Each structure stands twice: as C-alpha cells, then as structure tokens.
Chain A
C-alpha cells in the first residue's frame, strides 16, 4: 500500500458520461495517479464492495460520487462511501439534482417496469418481470430493489461539495483536481462545506455572447422550426425555449454558442430555490400578450412544460415528484 491519499469514484443511477468527462481531462489524469491512490472506481478498475467495507472509516480522502439514488444498492453504497470518505463530492447533475433519471419521479415504479418489460417494443413472450429475489437450485438470487422515487445524494447522506453539470465540463474538473492537489501541498484552502464547486455563481445568459434586447414573444417554436436561427441574437428572443435565464454559469454557455438552446444541465443558478419556478417567471414575463386566450395559444408552443422546466432538476425541486409517485 502506498501512503498517497486515497481517491474513489462511484456511479449510482447514471449514464457513464461523468466518467468520460473525467477521462477528458487528458494528461491531467496522470496527475491524479501521481497524487492519489485509486482505491475504488468500478468503471476503471476491479474492486468489490467488501473491499470498501474493509477500509477504515474516513480513510478515503476524496470521493467523487456520480449518479442519483435509484435503488437500495445505490443508497447502501452512498452511506458506505460517506462513512469511508473525508470529502464526499456530489459529482454531476444526477448526484446533485437527479438529472434525467429524476424524470422517473413523474411515474410510479410499476409504470416504469410496465414500459420496460411489457410494451409492444419489448420482446418478452413469457411475460417475465424481474424479481428482487428468486430461488434456484444453487440458492437464492437477489437483485437491488428500486426506491419509489429517485433521490439526490444529499437527500440520502451529508455531502461536502456539489459539482453540477451533465456532465461537468472537463476544464472545470481539471481546475477542481488542481485545487485539491494544491490543498494537499498546503498551497490552498478548501472552500466552505456545502459549496458548489467547478461552476460559476451567475447564469448561463451572463456568459452568453448573443445580443439581448427587450423580449416580446408572440410564439414559441421548436428549434428545428426556426432554421436558420440568427447566430447573434438571443435564442429565447427568437421564440425558442432556452433555459439560460435560470441556469448556473460555468459551462461557458457552450450550447447557445453553437446555436442550440440551453437545456439547463448546470442546475439552478445561485440563490434559486426552485429551478422550474424561476423559469416559469422568466418565460411568462417575456410573453407579449394580455388576453387569456392569446396567452394560452402561445403557451401551447411549450407542449411539455414540466419536462421543459424540470428536465434536470425535478428530484431536487420543492415538489420532487409527481403525485403519481406517492399518492394512492
């Protein structure tokens, strides 16, 4: 065993994009290896849960935890890594705010299984439905149980830092890793507990180079319906729902720069309590209509407002779920 500080990374309910973003820091990954001993990182190395269980409490210096909490397995590992880690970072949108998996909170678990196993697009002639435990001659086989709804990491355990993004931008990851290495060398100090790291404190609009005028929206369009989009003018001003006004800066307004609307993956801007509510405020303010019928007609241009406003943030919003996830 080396005496280098220990590093872990885990994926709960996630897509793996966060791990790719970490590898996208290119040769900086060698600095991670030079400064840390990687003790647990399922996507990159072979390690078992019981190896982590055998470690001393608080013996891992830094754990980047990505993915949301979908199953009892996710929840168990979140608790385990919390115990074993000095610094636990909710890494990426899934861990900080639920992200795309969090949209499952609009449906009860039974509906999710029905769609996955029993709809016409699934070839399942014997109508097999996964069970959490099954008896075979060799013994009992078990699978993790899905929680009734997705939780964020901070809803399950105490979290030290939050790093937003789907995935976090690689230059932001590199900056955070640099900081931690500097802290190890005594050249810098860690930010206060609970801080959002690797992101800005303002909104995507603040970093967006497009020109903004007074917005007066008469109709909302899907982006493919307004080709070509004016490359210099605010996207929302052109009637395409852009989530920049409520979304945290830090990505350098990557999507608006290349002609795509912001979908809000960096989560709520500093001080925003409910991301969707803030977007409702922003969108409703710029609609140029006063008659209810005309307003409703303009709003028809946003066919799925819940998905538009809570695409990444549902599990961390004030309501967190649809009534379908808990109401009997």
Chain B
C-alpha cells in the first residue's frame, strides 16, 4: 500500500450557517474526508487572520474559512469583512511563499450540508496536490536547541562554498 499524503486542514465555521451545515451533513450521514478539523466561530467576521497564520505555523497544510452567503450574514455584513481579510491575507502569504490556494473561503448556508461536504472534499484534494506545507516549529529551535529535522534543515552560508575566485 502506497502512503498517501494526508493534509491537515483547519476549518473555521460560522455558528449560524456553515457549522450547522456541517452538523446537517453529519445528521444526514453525508461523508466527508476526516482531514478537516472544524472550529466554530460566532461569525466569519470573527476570523482574525492571526488564527489562519497560527494554524499554518502550527503544522496545518491548508485553512478553510466558511460563512453565510453574501447578504445573509447574521450580523448584517461581517462576512464581507471576512472576504476582504481572506483576499488580503492570501496576497500577504504569497509573499512568504505560501500558495494562495491553501486558503479557501466557502459560503454555505445552514441547509447546504451536501455542498459543504463536497467543498471540503475538493479542497482536501487541492491541498493534497500542493503537498505538505511543513512549517518549521520555531519554538523548538529557540535558545540554541536546534531540532529542525534534516529534511528541512536550512543551509547556512559557508556550507555551500563554491570558490570561483
């Protein structure tokens, strides 16, 4: 059996729509891949980009943010704020080498359990294609305790010496 890369996905859901959609999917026995760990927020507008960055820094390969359809926000227009944050966050992360496709925004109403399950499955496949993100665990390298594994140990200048003079 060949080992398939199983991405770790953190999913932020809105209490009023997508969290209930995920719940509805469960009740209806709609299956979706177990790679996603759902976290309930009161609204997608509660999403601080810090959460997404912390997830990536902590080992997630992708982050899904879901909220009510445009115009349907329980708090009038906070999902538009989430939209703008995600678009700006994607641009910022791109500058740090993170593929924008690792951050996905999904609109799902409380009735759309099937659609949400489908979106989760397709996102997991997209991230699987991108491969592991594997951010180094910086805390473990602080104060001289260098424990980054050899796979991703960065090359210091001098190790790559090539004398051309």
Contact = CB atoms under 8 A, between A and B. Distances in A.
Contact of A319 (B77, B88, B135): B135
Contact of A273 (B50, B144, B165): B50
B157 A292 contact: no
Given A127-B164, A148-B155, A274-B54, A284 B85 contact: yes
B165 A128 contact: yes
B49 A280 contact: yes
Interface stretch (A3-11, A34-42, A304-312): A304-312
Which has the most chain A C-beta neighbours within 10 Å: B89, B98, B141?
A: B89
A328 B136 CA distance: 12
B53 A284 contact: no
Nearest to B134: A327
B95 A296 contact: no
Contact of B53 (A126, A274, A299, A327): A274
A273 B75 CA distance: 26
A301 B24 CA distance: 41
A323 B50 CA distance: 18
A148 B165 contact: no
A292 B96 contact: no
Contacts of A154: 142
Contact of A322 (B95, B142, B152, B165): B95
Interface of B: 48-50, 52-54, 56-57, 70, 77, 80-81, 83-85, 87-89, 91-92, 94-98, 133-136, 138, 141-144, 148, 151-152, 154-158, 160-165
Interface residues on A, range: 35 or more
A146 B157 CA distance: 5
Nearest to B135: A319
Contacts of A280: 49, 85, 88-89, 92
A322 B157 CA distance: 17
A61 interface: no
A325 B135 CA distance: 11
A148 B141 CA distance: 13
A290 B162 contact: no
Interface string A130-156: 011100000000000111110000111
B84 A289 contact: yes
Nearest to B152: A326
B41 to A, nearest CB: 14
Nearest to B96: A322
Interface in A251-302: 273-274, 276-278, 280-281, 283-285, 287, 289-290, 292, 295-296, 299, 302
10 contacts: A126-B165, A129-B162, A146-B156, A149-B154, A157-B143, A274-B50, A317-B53, A320-B138, A322-B97, A324-B97
A145 B158 contact: yes
Given A129-B164, A322-B96, A284 B54 contact: no
Interface stretch (A14-22, A89-97, A106-114, A172-180): A106-114
A112 B134 CA distance: 24
Contact of A327 (B52, B80, B97, B138): B97
A311 B140 CA distance: 25
Contact of A131 (B70, B151, B163): B163
Which has the most chain B C-beta neighbours within 10 Å: A129, A146, A310, A323?
A: A323
B49 A156 contact: no
Give me the 3 closest cross-chain CB pairs, A-B, nearest first. A306-B95, A323-B97, A148-B154
A318 interface: yes
Nearest to B55: A318
Contacts of B155: 108-110, 148
Which has the most chain A C-beta neighbours within 10 Å: B81, B154, B164?
A: B154
B95 A273 contact: no
Contact of A305 (B48, B81, B95, B143): B95
Nearest to A276: B92
A116 B91 CA distance: 27
A284 B97 contact: no
Contacts of A305: 88, 91-92, 95
